[in-house]
Structure 1
Amino acid sequence: MMPSVDLAYPFRDRWLTQNSPANRVPSHGTALFATSFAIDFVPMNEAGRTAPITLGSLLRPEPAERFPGFGRPILAPVDGVVAGVHHTAPDHPSFRGLPSVMYALAQGRRAAVGWPQLAGNHVMIEAVGGPVIAVCHLQRGSVQVRQGQRVRVGQTLGRCGNSGNSTEPHVHLQAIDRLDVRHAHPVPITFGGRLPRNGEIIDAG
């Protein structure tokens, strides 16, 4: 296994940590597609909340645009070269409550299609002297970089979306030891030398 790679947070403002490998490995409940050390961040508003939950939220899908982070800039977490880009997947509604249960039941079918179906719109960055970093669930048509382009930490890659295997707008990061996700091994990640735990709020300024 490759040594861990230290990343910058790929966003500004306040985000909630979810599915952190600081709490369990594999962090997403499966080692499929080298996701053992993957992590998610959910955008929050200035009051420290995601979209408010109502009775309707528990009973039916909601527009992704209702969530405070939909469309926020997503930034490069590492210096490197763009090794892959996908930007045409649709942003689907968000699912909480009963709709999220129904959506979860179809996850196996999405996984059977392949990793791009789960990642949605994404950017793959081959880090300088290191692994490949996948930044996933971007907004359709928002990707601002192209394959082969060199990027620096903090450069805008695209915008937060709800594409792929996503119940609400958020960003998913994982590091892998090669570009071919099907045969890749996961690489541990840290942010500024540490790994936030589930429920920790990151204020990136």
Structure 2
Amino acid sequence: MQGTLMLHYPFAGRWQVRNSPADRVPSHGTTMFGLSYAIDFVPVDEHGSSAPYTVASFFRPEPPTLFTGFGRTITSPVDGTVVQTHDSETDHNAYRGLPSVGYALTQRRRLARGIHAIVGNHVLIETTYLNNRTAVVALCHLQQNSITVQPGQTVHQGDVIGRCGNSGNSTEPHLHLHALDSADVIHAAAVPVSFQGHLPANGQTIDI
């Protein structure tokens, strides 16, 4: 049984928690790809909104640039070594209201395209914890061409690694994070995480 990996929040500003393992495990409804303890953070403004919501939002896709968090800085939550990056996935439109239903129906097609179509642009960072156990932290859905680190590079907690985007299997700009027991994303087991000794619940706002 893996122990809990202690992380720092990989951002500044105001973010709302979604799909937290504090509320259910597996948090994303599946144990595939080591997602049991995954957590999502959605950037929001001072009113708790990720973007203005209009009548049009209910009926049509919206550009990711409309969202307050698109392009926000993402930092490393740990000291460690970058073991993998991917930076070429397009930041696609966001889907709220009725368009989100149509987008959900295309999930099988994205799965068939492979892991990059799911996690989008991402950084994997290997770190040690709890008596030299090894874990790999995945930070996903990053903005295209925003990643500032490369495999083999040593990073420290707080170092900039990229920007919040809307790549991969994402309905609006946000950061998806989960931890694994190896860099083999397809077959790795999930590692529980907490943030500075706390695991935030769904709907909680983190303001740093």
Runs of 4+ in structure 1 off by over 6 angstroms are: none
Classify the secondary structure of the residue corresponding to 1:181. Answer: coil
Classify the secondary structure of the residue corresponding to 2:99. Answer: helix
2:170 to 163, 166, 178: 166
2:208 paired with 1:187: no
Classify the secondary structure of the residue corresponding to 1:131. Answer: strand
Q: 1:96 Cα deviation (Å)?
A: 0.4
1: CA distance, partners of 2:175 / 2:21: 15
Q: How does 1:107-146 map onto structure 2 within 5 Å? A: 107-128=107-128, 129=132, 130-146=134-150
Q: Which residue of 2 aligns with 1:100?
A: 100
Q: Which residue of 2 aligns with 1:81?
A: 81
* Aligned sequence identity (%): 55
2: CA distance, partners of 1:142 / 1:176: 23
The TM-score, its normalising length taken from structure 2, stands at 0.96
Q: 1:201 corresponds to which letter in structure 2?
A: T
Q: Which residue of 2 aligns with 1:42?
A: 42
Q: 1:173 Cα deviation (Å)?
A: 0.2
Q: What do you get for the CA RMSD once the two structures are aligned?
A: 0.9
Q: How does 1:8-19 map onto structure 2 within 5 Å? A: 8-19=8-19
2:31 paired with 1:31: yes
1: CA distance, partners of 2:28 / 2:157: 26
Deviation readout 1:24-49 (Å, 9 max, x if unpaired):
11101111111010000000113332
Consecutive unaligned residues in structure 1, runs of 5 or more: none
Q: Which residue of 1 aligns with 2:155?
A: 151
2: CA distance, partners of 1:16 / 1:88: 26
2:76 paired with 1:72: no
Consecutive unaligned residues in structure 2, runs of 5 or more: none
Q: 1:107 Cα deviation (Å)?
A: 1.1
Q: 1:136 corresponds to which letter in structure 2?
A: C
Q: 2:33 corresponds to which letter in structure 1?
A: F
The TM-score, its normalising length taken from structure 1, stands at 0.97
Classify the secondary structure of the residue corresponding to 2:58. Answer: helix
